[in-house]
Structures are given as C-alpha cells and as structure tokens.
Amino acid sequence: MKEQIRLVTLDLDDTLWEITPLIERAEARLHTWLAEQCPASADHFMPARLRACRREVENLHPEHAGDISELRRLSIRRALKQGGEDEALADEAFEVFRAARNEIECFDDVLPALERLKSRFIVGAITNGNACLDRAGLSRLFDFSISARDAGCTKPAQQIFHLACERAGVRPDETLHAGDDIECDVRGALAAGLHAAWINRDGQTRLLAPPAITLTSLSALADYLSPAE
C-alpha cells in the first residue's frame, strides 16, 4: 500500500496542534476587545455568553452548518445586538478573534515531519475548522487546503475527501488521510476509498481494525511512509 501513495492529506485541529487552549485564548482576546469597545455591556461578551449565542445561531442558521467563520461572526453580531451595541462592530471583532485563532503552536514533531512528507508527497489539509495556513505560517508546507466551507460539507462526508483527490489529480487509492478523529478522519476517509491513519497522541486504548493504521504522532507517519532501508 505504501508504495502507491502519492497524496497525504492531514486534519489540522488536534492533529497538528491542540485546539482547545487556542480557542480559549482567542475567545479571551475577543472578550477583552469587545469589553474595551463596549464597556457598558461587557458582560454580554463573556466567553460563556458568546458560546451560548453561537448555539443559538447554529439553530437559527442551519444553512451555515459547515461555515465556522460565518457562525462565529453571526454569534458576535447577535451578542452585540443583545447588548444594545452597534452590530457593525462584528466584522472587526471577528478579525480580532481570527488573528488570535491563527497564532498556532504546533506539536513538537509536526514541522520536521511536514518537511519530510512535503519532500516526497503532495500534501494537503482537509479540515472542518477555519484555520488559515497562510496566517499560521504553514502554507509553504502544504500544496493546498480544503475546509468544510470550501467543500460545502464536513468530514466524514465522502465529497470533501474526493475534492482533495481531484485537487491533487490523484485517485483515492493513491491517497492517505491522517487525523485524530476516528469517525471524521479515519472512517470518513476509508468510506471514500482512501487509506487512513489514526493519529492517537493521547494513547487511547481503542483498537482499529485494518486497513486503518494507528500512529502516535506525525513523525511516526513520516517514518511509516519512508522507503524501506
């Protein structure tokens, strides 16, 4: 199988970096900015309140289900409206959040592993999130990136994996997708006809049956795909 791989696609959040502290920092920075702009209604912009607005927006706008950025922007707008503030601040506020969200700190193994993979394969990103590889300083290590917004669907839908294959000009059976989520990344990729690797950084005890492989890091993936000595 390894000999036929031409394209390696990677999930981003919780595969290349830890997402929870990153989002928490971005939400804190957003709250600080909004509180400075609108001190009289600062309580409306606490992270917990903004998350509640986000859930409300998701229910009100199912048409944006795969567009995390738009959902975030609409939730900020809703919070501003509830606080009696100018909704026009939402776009600038979202940019504050977006800038912080892309201050990414990769796991230690990621950059060397990406360098190794990029030297031998086409490398793409497939994400349900809204990270910007260019803003994060990682675009040189990828040939392309596809988000749920780009594809009009989220993983584990087969279409998003097939779009990546089309973008690279390769067949699904010439592609290996790696990610941390068993359902979205592993089972989704296998259902689409790709090979799949589960990046299990946390040492979970779940077992996956072949043909999926289980690895503990991106460097282990680069090792796995290296030519035999």
Last residue of a domain, one of 101, 118, 148: 101
Whether residues 195 and 206 share a domain: the answer is: yes
Based on the fold, state whether residues 115 and 11 are members of the same structural domain.
yes
Q: What is the pLDDT of residues 202-221, one digit of tens each?
A: 988 877 767 889 999 999 99
Q: How many domains does the chain have?
A: 2
Mean pLDDT of 20-34: 95
CATH of the domain at 87: 1.20.120.1600
Give the mean pLDDT of 176-203: 96
Report phi then psi at 208, rounded to 5: -110, 135
Shortest CA distance to 131 belongs to which of 6, 10, 8?
A: 10
Q: What is the pLDDT of residues 46-60, one digit of tens each?
A: 888 888 888 999 898
The CATH code of the domain that includes 200 is: 3.40.50.1000
Contact present, 39 and 84 (Cβ < 8 Å): no
Look up the domain containing 10 and give its range. 2-17+105-225
Assign 228 a pLDDT band (cuts: 50, 70, 90): low
Same domain (yes/no): 13, 121: yes
Answer yes or no: is pLDDT of 229 > 50.
Answer: no
State whether 50 and 75 are in the same domain: yes
Q: Which residues contact 146 (CB under 8 A, 6 or more apart)?
A: 124, 125, 126, 127, 160, 163, 164, 167
- Does residue 122 sit in the same domain as residue 219? yes
Tens digits of residue pLDDT in 49-96:
888 888 999 898 988 888 999 999 999 999 999 999 999 999 999 999
Same domain, 97 and 50: yes
> pTM, whole model, 2 decimals?
0.92
My answer on whether 117 and 220 are in the same domain is: yes
Domain end (from 101, 117, 135)? 101
Q: Are residues 214 and 125 in the same domain?
A: yes
Same domain, 134 and 212: yes
Do residue 135 and residue 89 come from a single domain?
A: no
- Pairing mode, if any, of strands 144-147 and 175-179? unpaired
**130-156 pLDDT, tens digit each:** 999 999 999 999 999 999 999 999 999
What mean pLDDT value characterizes the chain?
94
- Domain end, chosen from 101, 120, 145, is at 101
Give tens-digit pLDDT for 114-126: 999 999 999 999 9
Same domain, 134 and 70: no
What pLDDT does residue 65 have?
83
The residue-averaged pLDDT of 41-47 equals: 85
